[in-house]
Amino acid sequence: MDKNNLDIINRIKSKDVNVKENTGFTLDFYTSWALYNLGEEEIRNYIPKKNRPLSTSALGIPDYTDEELSEKINTDVMIFALNAASRDVDKSGSWLNFHDTRSASHDQRLLFEFLDTKFWGAYMSDLFKDVPETNSKEIKINNLIKDMKSNDDNEAKRNLKLLQFEIDTINPRIIILYHAKARDAFNKMIKEELIKIPDNCKTVYRPHYSMGEGYAKRAKALIKESKEIYGE
């Protein structure tokens, strides 16, 4: 058991870290890990099947105890999307974000991005939590940045505090940003010195997984970055 990883899990699940006041939902109800009920070779078998949907059970995260989970997670890697879709994150349990089995979800496409990489077990989160909106045009990045810089307490500043908490807790070597707006928002927060990432931490941009790339193309998307960090 990796005690450091267990400490990370406990920090994320801490009742002192609420995403929104008076809801009782801690950070683990909005985040997850790149761990699934389907093995890598089983995922690979779907590539020639013309983007046939994976079974819903495959998308689930295995029912690990915290101690078991601590041995599976990869704290070198953080993955951020922009925000949750309008249907919102399933909050019936911990670690369900990015494991959405509902028919409208595109989460299954993420699994192919990790093939032939060492990014399995990565921490997964949204830059803006508890902001359910499918139409990304409705997410006004400049307005959010302005709110973050204001002297008033507001939702954007609370999100900013959570984001820095996540980065400090995971202490990643690479951050993968899904969605052009996620990339732009993250870069602006760094430029404005609103957040700080570890020295030598690499940031990588990928189009949002709702975009129409096929399984075969996705399966090659992050191999180069994985080799840069972990070698051959």
Question: What does the pLDDT read at residue 114?
Answer: 92
Closest CA to 71 of 121, 111, 124: 121
| Separation between Cα atoms, residue 16 and residue 26, nearest integer Å | 8
Beginning with the edge strand found earlier in the chain, give each strand of the sheet holding 32-33 in spatial order: 32-33, 122-128, 74-83, 174-178, 202-206
**Distance, CA of 21 to chain centre:** 22
Highest mean predicted confidence (pLDDT) among 28-32, 44-48, 171-175, 228-232: 171-175
Among 66-75, 83-92, 125-134, the range scoring the smallest mean pLDDT is 83-92
The alpha carbons of the chain give a radius of gyration, in whole angstroms, of 17
Q: Are 30 and 126 in contact, with CB atoms under 8 Å apart?
A: yes
Cβ(60)–Cβ(99) below 8 Å: yes
Give yes or no for a contact between 165 and 17, defined as CB atoms under 8 angstroms apart.
yes
Q: How confident is the model at residue 28 (pLDDT cuts 50, 70, 90)?
A: very high
Instruction: Find residue 78's DSSP bridge partners.
Output: 123, 175
User: For the chain, where are the E strands, in sequence order?
Assistant: 32-33, 74-83, 122-128, 174-178, 202-206
Taking residues 21-44, report their average pLDDT. Answer: 86
Instruction: Tell me the mean pLDDT in the region 91-110.
Output: 80
Question: What is the predicted pLDDT for the residue at 216?
Answer: 84
Joined together, the tokens standing for residue 203 give 């940031």
| Mean residue pLDDT across the chain | 86
* Two tokens, residue 194: 């609103």
Structure pTM? 0.90
**pLDDT score recorded for residue 22:** 59
